[in-house]
Chain A
Amino acid sequence: MIRTVFAAALSVSLAGLAPAFADPAVVMAPGGAGGGYDAMARLPFDAMAKEGIFTDGATFTNKGGAGGTIGLAEFVGANKGNDNAVMSMGVIMVGGILLNNSPVTLDDVTPLVRLSNDTGVIAVATDSPIKTVDDLVAALKADIGAVSISGGSAGGVDHIVMALIAKEAGLDPSKLNYIPYDSGAESVTALGGGAVTLAVSGVSEFKPMADAGRIRIIAVTSEGRFDGIDAPSLKEAGLNVVVGNWRGIVGAPGMSPEGRQMWLDRFAKMHESAAWKETLAKQGWEDAYLSGDDFVAFLGEEKTRIAAILKDVGLVK
């Protein structure tokens, strides 16, 4: 039964037993292993450990589901007043809370920092008659239902981009023919193969396919142009739409002011470090560091903006 013993040992280690460190942080990743929230939970701690900023280690819990709101609920329930507990989160969670009518919200946690951003791109098939943002707006105006759009989950950041474009163009966002896809791979092949007219996704997911000549990017959702992509920003093209898929870290509910300051200092140091810069580059994340009260204010604006647009789309009553 050596195999059984081995399997048991494996399963125990897979279940995530923490090494016995001095005072490890309790870290929640509200998404599955290998996803964006998972990376945003683990990589800052890797960088901090490497730079000697925080070396007590961390125990990670992965708890995905319902746009991250299930992990959020568990984090809030289990860590009240724990200065040592933090969680990764991002713009998808802001929308997820509204979409799922989550009883627990981001008002229940202590916002700490925004760390990264992934700019969105709007792309068409290489042989598409739509070549510019103006063409796109014209096509939407001609027959909004005829423009099929693939992107991430309904009410997610890609859908929000399209809803804001429709609104800017004076159209009803709830009329968009938006088709959610589970993965960027499915979405990009649907676009490249001509199944859909238009696709929205993150730079990191679409740029390789655009470079390979499979699809054509017609706009980016950042403020200005994006390095390495030959397309205007939506703003440059005359639509006042700036959206990013940002991610950050929040602390436990009822974290003490000292605890909050301790984490803000740690993240400030980490942000300056070489290890973190290397992480950003490897992950293809844009640096979007925003700390403390600035992040709180930003979070408030995002909540208002996203709530309004989800209502326009008809996903939130």
Chain B
Amino acid sequence: MLWPRLARALIGKPLTDPAPPVPQDTVHALAERLAATARTRLGRSLAIREVDSGSCNGCELEVNALQNVAYDLERFGLRFVASPKHADVLLVTGPACRNMAEAMERALACTPEPRWVVAAGDCAVDGGVFKGSYAVHGGVGAVLPVDLLIPGCPPSPTQLLEGLLALLEAEARPPRKENRAGWIAPAGP
């Protein structure tokens, strides 16, 4: 039952969607944050550690959907890893819950530099609807230094993909000449 289907899949058309366009202004902004040494070290592939700092789990559904065959995240050199110690990117969803703050800080401390911190979803951007609660610090930026914000409630897999591809592009881009004088950016956040 399974083998004929696998064989058919080998010769059939892929189910994967074409890549979405990458927002160039985001790429420029990100590239300016990244030192040349960091660019060399990160290369054209990123290992992502997802950290849920208190989401409603809507963001997790969409982050998981990124790995289905329609989006096929790994074709871009992006992959999820099981530990922050193996990660280049912390992809953080949800408001920064007070009960999660220590775990967030520990995850960041375990992530080797150079690294990116991406806050995905409206809650991660500024606390979203949970802003002002006694139980949250606010957005992810209240606890961790954030490099990239991806809004949406939850952000769709396409929106997430655009953001993550912008990180890849930023790493591929050589520093522009006109920027070189003032280009010295911190190696990490």
Q: Do A and B come from one complex?
A: no
